[in-house]
Amino acid sequence: MQVVEANGARIPAIGLGTMTLKGDTCVEIVSAALGMGYRHLDTAQMYGNEAEVGQGLKASGLKREDVFLTTKVWHSNLAPADFERTFEESLKKLDLPFVDLLLIHWPNGNVPLAGTMAALCRTAQDKRARHVGVANFTIPMIEEAVRLATVPLVTNQIEVHPYIDQRKVIDTCRKHGLSVTAYCPLARGGVPSDETLKRIGAAHGKSASQVALRWLVQQGLVAIPRTSNKDRLPENLAVFDFTLSEAEMGEIAALRKPNGRLVSPPHAPQWDA
């Protein structure tokens, strides 16, 4: 598995997103994915499936150190005491002594970032999280978080796919040594039917989805596609045996739209222009 290195972390370039996966389905998909070669799992407090992700990890039979596991603290839990309490709950649900990466899931303008960052960094200092980072942070927020952090931040998890222009945010992350983890990499079903991506894929014997994922990893980004279909798991992983040309990379980048963002809940920050 190709990895992305950032401030001391080695993050597998393709991970399994688990949002919306519940119950036995979640356990089965996680275990199956690990059996097929996935080594990166992404969950969150808000997904309500940390226990099932932990069960799927154990069911796989893999050693704990062989799997990179991420969870996230929800935006309503960012006051330091809430952060600490709910992260401990996450560890208990996962039935693990530590996670590989702990993220602030969404910023919260009503909670001072300094206190949240102190709580986040403490989890790395006491080894309950091997690495820490943020998600859905804008350029000013990234700058502030880096300034406040007492341990290196390793990623900003944001929406990235061919239809959204995130170049400025990605450049800011790279300036500070952060990786970028792309959620919704298949644009919530928009990618598979895209004629441009299908045409490029046909030239490589690949699907439109594989082309979109390859476009991300070829830029040095991490992608965490979600699927509840076991048949899709190997397809999403099989993106390391071909290379897109410079012209193809540019053609995919040209698909970006001014209104390409898919995820902007009421608690979202004021996005960068």
Instruction: Identify whether 38 is a catalytic site residue.
Output: no
Residues whose CB is less than 8 angstroms from the CB of residue 222 and which lie 6 or more positions away in sequence, other chains included? 4, 11, 12, 13, 14, 15, 40, 155, 179, 180, 181, 182, 216
Catalytic residue among 38, 47, 163, 183: 47
Buried b or exposed e, range 170-197, using 16+ CB within 10 angstroms: bebbeebebbbbbbbbbbeebbeebeeb
- Can you say which residues are annotated as belonging to the binding site for substrate? 105
Q: CB of 217 within 8 A of CB of 124?
A: no
- Give the CA-trace dihedral at 2, 170, 172, 178, to 10 degrees: -20
CB atoms within 10 A of CB 249: 16
What residues are paired with 4 via a beta bridge? 11
Q: Which residues are annotated as catalytic?
A: 47
